[in-house]
Amino acid sequence: MTGEMFEIEGERKKRVCYFFDSDVGGFHYGPGHPMKPTRIRMCHSLVMNYGLYKRMEIFRAKPATKREMTQFHSDEYVDFLSRITPSNMHSFVKEQHKCNVGDDCPVFDGLFDYCAISAGGSMEGAARLSRDKCDIAVNWAGGLHHAKKSEASGFCYVNDIVLGILELLRYHSRVLYIDIDVHHGDGVEEAFYTTDRVMTVSFHKYGEFFPGTGELRDVGIGKGKYYALNFPLRDGINDDSYKSVFEPVIQQVMESYDPAAVVLQCGTDSLAGDKLGCLNLSMRGHANCVKFVKSFNKPLLLLGGGGYTMRNVSRAWAYETGLATGVELGADIPVNEYYEYFGPDYQLDVKSSNTEDMNSPAYLERVKNIVMEHLRNVGGPPSVQMMDIPTLPIDAEMDDMNQDEDLADPDERRPQSLLDRRVQASGELSDSDDEDEGGRRDHASHRDGDSSSSNGRRPHKFGMGVGIMTAGPTHGVGPSGHTTIAPALAPMDVDALPANGEAGGDGADAPAAGAGGGSPKPPLAEELEVSDSRNGR
């Protein structure tokens, strides 16, 4: 029996592609680590048992390859991630220290496979958006916004967001990145700090809080000046206060920047009751951001991120998946394999607490006015020189949408891949006899062998500074590991990437992605977290 769904009146029908790999729930960061990939499988269980699979196409993206990861990350770093395991990690002590792996970002079984699944979903989602095969792409396994060019940070190893944006930039002139995680989206901001092809907007807790970046005065540099916007928040912000700043800022961003595509990082550690967060959003307050961004009818990539109270993470992402498809999920959680996690009330909603809101209306208004002033300096949407779209391996595979059908069992009347691509017509009252709502979760792995899990070994700790898991009320001061040095230029020049069909200014001369960043500035004065994709990548 599926849960209740209610059509949202006046909603324009969207084509939604949803990416899920059943292997992702089998990875484990280690004993006591707050990041638990099982939350993604919990969310998927709600998505399926509410019956949302009838309203969208479901894909299992092909994991990203090492070559695809090196479009942003350094060859040396990607090779290190692919080689290190818990059994050989003591042979890589120097590399671990250099790449900030071993404390917040431990070595665990299947580490590279986990990164490949996360990045694969975001890159394929971006590729489908670019080719107009969907209006919204959803990858809750993505959103790992702290990873740098050659360094892990804040539980993130490979920055799937940057890889997804680079894919979008091959077809779109401008991409807007919005981050509603409690932590600053430092890895994405740093990657595009010197270009106007991407505008990054982050709403986050600031002030003795990981990663220590994202001050109001950090606005980008060179050609990217005023294309990085930060809205620093204090503890305990509630739904009304958040909405009062989020909506006017994003409205002005859309008018001033006019992006061709939008990436929204939906980290749920900004929800009330999160184990590492300190904000006070309800599920509906968090989801309002998704609903508002969706209303602009731009190609939209929805990604996961932080979120460390698993039952709340899965609730919020399932509800937001429903909003993407044009429905509101009913309050009563349907029976599912994680049902006991949602007791004692078994209700979908995540409510705000009575935490005091330290963000006074005067403070929010002052910060909003400064952010709006930065936006006025943009002076209208930048344009980019039109050129041929560079060819990548993903193109051949995306062009042959039925390449995997030859592998389907000829004795199976309707292959699972075909069923997962079906979308139920509006007004259809009954399920078809092919839609077994109870048995669509257990699919064969795309990898040989069992899903990886931690062997329980505690990783070697290097004492490289304060990170995201630091005990105490502030949860961390400054960047995890050590001060980030401005990285070398990335292998792909963002401003040289073509934007199909948009002619204009001389965009090919700006610095490449990956430049910028650096040590955080001093704080401002007090006034101021299925099936194989048969036609996948």
> Catalytic amino acids?
146
- The encoded tokens of residue 410 equal 């000829």
User: Rounded to an integer, what distance in angstroms lies between the CA atom of residue 192 and that of residue 216?
Assistant: 17
Q: 114: helix, coil or strand?
A: helix
- The encoded tokens of residue 26 equal 């089998």
Phi and psi based region of residue 400 (left: phi greater than 0; alpha: psi -120 to 50; beta: remaining) = beta
User: Rounded to an integer, what distance in angstroms lies between the CA atom of residue 232 and that of residue 208?
Assistant: 12
Cα 125 to the center of its chain, rounded Å: 11
Question: Residues 65, 450, 152, 230: is their CA dihedral positive or negative?
Answer: positive
Enumerate the β-bridge partners of residue 5.
329
CA-wise closest residue to 160 among 268, 61, 85, 238: 61
> DSSP characters for 245-282?
HHHHHHHHHHHHH--SEEEEE--GGGBTT-SS----B-
| Strand 327-329 to 5-7 pairing | antiparallel
CA-wise closest residue to 287 among 243, 230, 331, 255: 243
**Residue 139 backbone dihedrals phi, psi, to 5 degrees:** -140, 90
CA-wise closest residue to 215 among 232, 201, 236, 202: 232
CA-wise closest residue to 382 among 530, 243, 531, 508: 508
